[in-house]
Amino acid sequence: MSKRPQNRPIHKNSFWLIRQLWADHIRNYLWRLVGAFILISILAGVTGLYPIVIKYSYDLLAKGEMSYLWIIMLAMVGVTALKGLLDYLQAVYTNRISITLGLDMQKRLYAHLMQADFKRLSSESPGNLVTRVNGDLVTVQGAIMAVFTVAIRDVLTVFSLVVSMLYLDWVMTVVILLFYPLAVFPIAQVGRIVRKYASHGWAQIGNTTAVLIEHLSSLRLIKTYRLEQYSYNRVSDQLERAVDFQRKTVRVKAALNPILEVFGGLAVAGVVGLAAYRISQDSKTVGDFTGFIAALLMAAQPIRSFGNLNNRIQEGLAAAERFYQVLTEKPTVVSPPDAKPLTLIGGGRIEFENVSFSYNNDGRNAVRDFSLTIEPNTTVALVGKSGAGKSTIFNLVPRLYDPQSGRILIDGQDIQQVTVASIRDQMALVSQDITLFDDTVAANIALGRLDATHEDIVAAAKAANAHDFIERLPEGYDARLGDRGMRLSGGQRQRVALARAILRDAPILLLDEATSALDAESERLVQEALAKFSESRTTLVIAHRLSTVKNADMICVMEDGFITEKGRHAELLARDGAYAQFCKSQMLTPEDQDYAKHIAALGGKQARASEESAA
């Protein structure tokens, strides 16, 4: 990869973009390109024969030599048939190259995004990312096809026809060749404007896609709150903005054809006048004139396409610029060169030492001088208002972000000094934002461990209290869940996610409000499974429900990035501080109290310890 600075505007150096595309992708198809070039060259040569056939046809007919008529007719049919066959072959062959090349670029871009920092990915909407992977590279693919069909095929066709024109009348050909280059200046001007509009246009298309995804995934809210008109207005506004860029581009591009049409008309008029004079001087025949006009008219369309070629290339370069803007980004959360895998020698002890973190490096810390030790095989719950820093702590443990100061250790090992992969291999996550893919139940559970057997998957589902409802599905474990698991209820989705975490069998468990959106029965089933599963694991919990945090070995109350209180449930209630007020105002309900007793009755190690402490 080039060492080009990331903050340097790539679009100022089109040659750099073209060179990178060649070095990174196009060069890999060199021999296929050679084959395409040979096909296109033969096609161009056959096209150049057509005016010669017309010339001799008219000359023979003018002389009254009708005996050769059948040869002329066969020649015309043969040339056009061969031209059609070659045109078909080169179109299929070049399109196959272009499509495969575009696919390679899409795969490379997506692979790069998957290695990017979580911060970088979350800073751009899914709609914009979709546009980069799909829309931008389709435009690049179209530009590459334009190079095949115009820059190579049409240029060779025009060259072949110019050779025919030189053969028929070199004087008129020289006049034409001196006249047509005058059209280059307006073509270049239009191309620069098109590229600018294309770059802004693709950015707006990304915004439009993001809004469409946002609204189409919120139909329940839209319908329930009767927000159809609001949604329509928001989406319409984005569509109008995208179309506005398209209109501007169309207006500019549309100016090319009239310009080239005028140049073509002037050229034909000049040829007719000059040809009439030369025929009157007996220096040329009517066949020469007819063949020359035929060649000139056949060349008109390829020449006109040269103007659009520049537009297509400029649009492709604008998209390629966005492509390389992503590829030149380097992740910051990486394993150091000499990093070794994390080794759990103490059972998963997690230590935060004076950790401070700001999302934008602007001094506004989400976490400040945070220190906490989570002993192996214990559960620590983080509670507090929104914005207190709980989710930030969660994001720091698996190195989704790195703190600006302080350090985090697991079994005495600084997580910034070991490999990122080995850290995440030791963790399982169950979140309130459940991620399920449009795949089978078994496949979604198997994401916890991709090499798991079917027996492992079923065992994990049973441990998560999910096996019974899965068996009742029409296709059982082979049932597809639909987009984001929409064919399951909230409780069922949560139990599938929990089965995935159980299958992973990681020593460190992260629970991010895993039961916050569940009904009482679903919560009971999930909590039963969690109580058993977390017994022998280091567990970090974010929760707002008493039933989730009451039996934790330690509860930490957070505010403005600090820990303001910590201790067991009974201890914190006795202090009548922030935690006690939090329970009274938000968490403590009769249902929660009854449910907490139910969890304690499960006989888990942590549950028993908490109940004994409360007593």
Q: Count Cβ atoms below 10 Å from residue 334 Cβ, excluding itself.
A: 15
Does position 589 have pLDDT exceeding 50, yes or no? no
DSSP codes, 337-378: TT-B----SSSS-EEEEEEEE-TTSSS--SEEEEEEEE-TT-
Judged by DSSP in three states, 188 sits in helix
Cα-Cα-Cα-Cα dihedral sign, residues 44, 47, 52, 55: negative
Q: Give the mean model confidence (pLDDT) for residues 422-427.
A: 89
d(CA 3, CA 563): 44
Share the mean pLDDT of the chain. Answer: 76
Does position 156 have pLDDT exceeding 80, yes or no? yes
Judged by DSSP in three states, 512 sits in strand
d(CA 402, CA 359): 10
> Who wins on pLDDT, 64 or 432?
432
134-143, 241-250, 280-289, 418-427: range with highest mean pLDDT: 418-427
| Phi, psi for residue 497 in degrees, rounded to 5 | -65, -40
> Who wins on pLDDT, 222 or 499?
499
> Who wins on pLDDT, 6 or 398?
398
Contact 477, 442 (CB under 8 A): yes
347: left (phi over 0), alpha (psi -120 to 50) or beta: left
Give pTM, 2 decimals: 0.72
Lowest mean pLDDT among 21-35, 471-485, 512-526, 555-569: 512-526
> Who wins on pLDDT, 581 or 405?
405
Q: Give the mean model confidence (pLDDT) for residues 529-536.
A: 76
Name the pLDDT band for 127 (thresholds 50, 70, 90): confident
Name the pLDDT band for 598 (thresholds 50, 70, 90): very low
Which pLDDT does position 201 carry in this prediction? 61
Q: At what angle do helices 286-327 and 184-216 cross, to 10 degrees?
A: 40
Q: Give the mean model confidence (pLDDT) for residues 260-278.
A: 63
Q: Is residue 183 within a helix (H) or strand (E), and if so which, with residue range?
A: none
d(CA 472, CA 455): 18
124-138, 274-288, 317-331: range with highest mean pLDDT: 317-331
Judged by DSSP in three states, 218 sits in coil
Which pLDDT does position 212 carry in this prediction? 67
Question: What residues have CB less than 8 Å from 62, skipping those under 6 apart?
Answer: 285, 286, 287
Name the pLDDT band for 354 (thresholds 50, 70, 90): very high
Helices (H), ranges, 489-582:
490-504, 520-533, 546-549, 569-575, 578-582
Q: How big is the chain, counted in residues?
A: 615
Which pLDDT does position 195 carry in this prediction? 55
d(CA 180, CA 303): 9
Domains delineated in the chain = 11-327 (1.20.1560.10), 347-426+511-615 (3.40.50.300), 430-505 (3.40.50.300)
Name the pLDDT band for 298 (thresholds 50, 70, 90): confident
Amino acid identity of residue 347, one-letter, is G
Which pLDDT does position 276 carry in this prediction? 63
pLDDT tens-digit series, residues 90-106: 888 888 888 888 888 88
Residues facing residue 373 across a β-bridge = 351
Judged by DSSP in three states, 359 sits in coil
Which pLDDT does position 371 carry in this prediction? 92
